[in-house]
Amino acid sequence: MTPAATTPAQTTVAVVLQVRDGSLQVLLWQRAKEPQSGRWALPGGTLARGESLDDSIRRHLAAKVDVQELAHLEQLETRVDGAAPVDWQVTTAFLGLVPSHLDPAIPPDTSWHPLDGLPQLAFDSGTTIERGRDRLRAKLSYTNLGFALAPPAFSISELRAIYVAALGHAISPTNLQRVLLRRGVLEQTGAVRPPGPSGGRPAALFCFRVRSLAITDQFAVLRPRRGGD
């Protein structure tokens, strides 16, 4: 191999999302040093030898948030970030999801920000965050990814509130239950939650049948024909 600076630095960052207070929020930390001092950035850091990209982002996230509470982690995309020898680096972005009932401890330079109304961002974190949000919205529709946003047990109303916050638009509560049950994504726990102070019928509690990513829908045209093959 030839001298230094013939290879870029390799870094990982993560878009960690959680539904908090009815809105989808992202975990950011405020830079204290130049460059981009004072602006908000995605958590992450450089790759160490011998670790996978997965290991790397988990290690860096551990400094900002309890990694145990990440219910899902997947790769988004990789991008080249600088051109000069000093700032030439390749960044691999991840998407991380935290269930809405958790409130992990975070250091003072770190906080959650709603996706509408982000502060001044460092670098081009904005496009990365958008990509993470889009990936989440897409996968909520054709996978069981909701398990990564929802608590272990929940009523349909609570699940609907989470979906509404993540998707950004209203959805019919009766359809959500029927569709997710029909696909075998949800199952009834048998328990019920007593109603709130304003009364109402007790809500039946549900949980996700499997809590790891699974595709629940196959498109029609490409589905194998009934009889043959």
In the complex, the residues that contact a copy of itself under the rule CB under 8 A are 1, 3-10, 47, 49-53, 75, 77-80, 83, 85-86, 88, 90, 92, 137, 140-142, 163, 167, 169-172, 175-176, 179-180, 217-222, 224-225, 228-229
Contact (Cβ atoms closer than 8 angstroms) between residue 59 and residue 12: no
What are the DSSP E strand ranges found in the chain? 9-20, 23-30, 40-41, 44-46, 72-80, 89-98, 110-114, 186-193, 203-208
**Residues lying near DNA in the complex (CB under 7 A):** 155-157, 172-175, 177-179, 182-183, 192, 194-204, 220-221, 223, 225-227
What are the DSSP E strand ranges found in 40-179? 40-41, 44-46, 72-80, 89-98, 110-114
Give the nearer residue to DNA in terms of CB position, either 76 or 181: 181
CB under 5 to 8 A by kind: which of DNA, a copy of itself, none does 197 bind? Answer: DNA
Q: What are phi and psi of 164, to 5 degrees?
A: -60, -45
DSSP structural state of residue 47: P
Q: Tell me how far, at minimum, the Cβ of 110 lies from a copy of itself, in Å.
A: 25
CB under 5 to 8 A by kind: which of a copy of itself, DNA, none does 155 bind? Answer: DNA
Q: Tell me how far, at minimum, the Cβ of 181 lies from DNA, in Å.
A: 9
